[in-house]
Amino acid sequence: MRRDEVAGAARGWIGTPYCHQASVKGAGTDCLGLLRGVWRELLGAEPMPVPAYTADWNEPQGDEALLYAARETLREKPLECAETGDVILFRMRSGAVAKHLGIQGNVGDAPSFIHAYSGHEVVESPLSDPWKRRLVARFEFPEEGS
């Protein structure tokens, strides 16, 4: 699979309204639902069932469920090795668990990422310094059939 296919699939969701725990293109999705939808489009069936989860970015129990699941299903790579189509994971507050993710749209002088933004919709945002400071991990999709 080409990296631009991942970003292109994610861009196909732009305008989908934000809806917690949903993953239906054009109808509603959250950030994980966007990733799940892109996975289904490019790789087929999702690799694991998704348990219910809260919308709260500051999970009091400190469970890094999203980070651990990403490490099980995607290939982790160094934060500084940005490429189009990477899955990027964020901590929204210092000391909080990683609870937001997006897909790298552009790299270089005008980096961007596609994500479902709470209270809004799926958008492509600049990967600005405030977002970069929140980055926790970077992943790539597995190759088809792996």
Res. 57: pLDDT tops 60 = no
Q: What is the pLDDT of residue 1?
A: 62
CA distance 45 to 6: 16
Q: What is the pLDDT of residue 58?
A: 55
> Which tens digits make up the pLDDT trace of 4-14?
999 999 999 99
Name every residue whose Cβ is closer than 8 Å to that of residue 26 and which is 6 or more positions away in sequence.
Answer: 15, 16
Q: Where are the domains of the chain?
A: 3-140
- CATH fold of 3-140 reads endopeptidase fold (from Nostoc punctiforme) (3.90.1720)
Regarding pTM above 0.85, the answer is yes
Greater pLDDT, 62 or 51: 51
> Which tens digits make up the pLDDT trace of 99-127?
999 999 999 999 999 999 888 999 999 99
